[in-house]
Amino acid sequence: MKGFAGNLLKNKLEEALELNKLAFPVSLINDVDQFIELGLSSVPAVRVGTKIIEHPTNRALDDMVKTAMELILEDEEESILVPIDFTPESIHGLRFAQTMAKYLGLGITLVHVRYPVYDPVSSVALNVHLARQDEKKLEALASQAMEEGLKFGLNTHISSRVDEGSITDSMTDLLHKK
């Protein structure tokens, strides 16, 4: 990306990434040799993985950002699943997965599977409350891991999800979806 349109596109893309809580670097390319090497016929352009989205004159920058975000979110399907039960061992597994994800070029999906709580007095309310607590705790862990990873050059996106039921069934279902 280069020039005013490139800076505007960079800012819009960074805003979209931040909105989606995705930690991906966005950089400007100002070297003509790099434009030629990438085979660009127009600028600004966005590269997501191996795909390049160019800016033809009739295409709005917002459309480019939308297309780039769709590609990034599509790539999220290729991630390392890390089961988390908040024990030191599962946190260690997350740290190991971060290192692996960097070298494999993958994201990470943290999965916490909880058993539903059936309380005859509060009915569903207690279960919903506990599920929300687990979601917040897992999201905080994902954010903390991304921040700590950046300090060590591990720029890996980490998403999180809380499932309910059997860990074996949940993990098997997730693996089949991938």
pLDDT, one tens digit per residue, over 112-166 is: 998 887 767 766 677 788 888 999 999 999 989 988 888 877 778 888 888 888 8
Together in a domain, 170 and 84: yes
Closest to 103 (Cα-Cα) out of 84, 86, 80, 87: 80
What confidence score (pLDDT) does residue 2 get? 44
Q: How far is CA 133 from CA 83, 89, 110, 140, in A?
A: 17, 21, 15, 11
Average pLDDT over the chain reads: 77
Q: How many domains does the chain have?
A: 2
Sequence-distant (≥ 6) Cβ neighbours of residue 170 within 8 angstroms: 111, 113, 163
Together in a domain, 85 and 161: yes
Q: Where are the alpha helices (DSSP H) in the chain?
A: 3-19, 32-38, 61-75, 88-104, 124-151, 167-177
Last residue in a domain, options 74, 92, 111: 74
Give the H or E element holding residue 108. strand 107-114
Together in a domain, 115 and 56: no
Last residue in a domain, options 31, 54, 74: 74
Structural domain for 132, as ranges = 79-177
Residues 51-82 have pLDDT tens digits of 666 665 555 777 777 777 766 666 556 789 99
Give the H or E element holding residue 114. strand 107-114
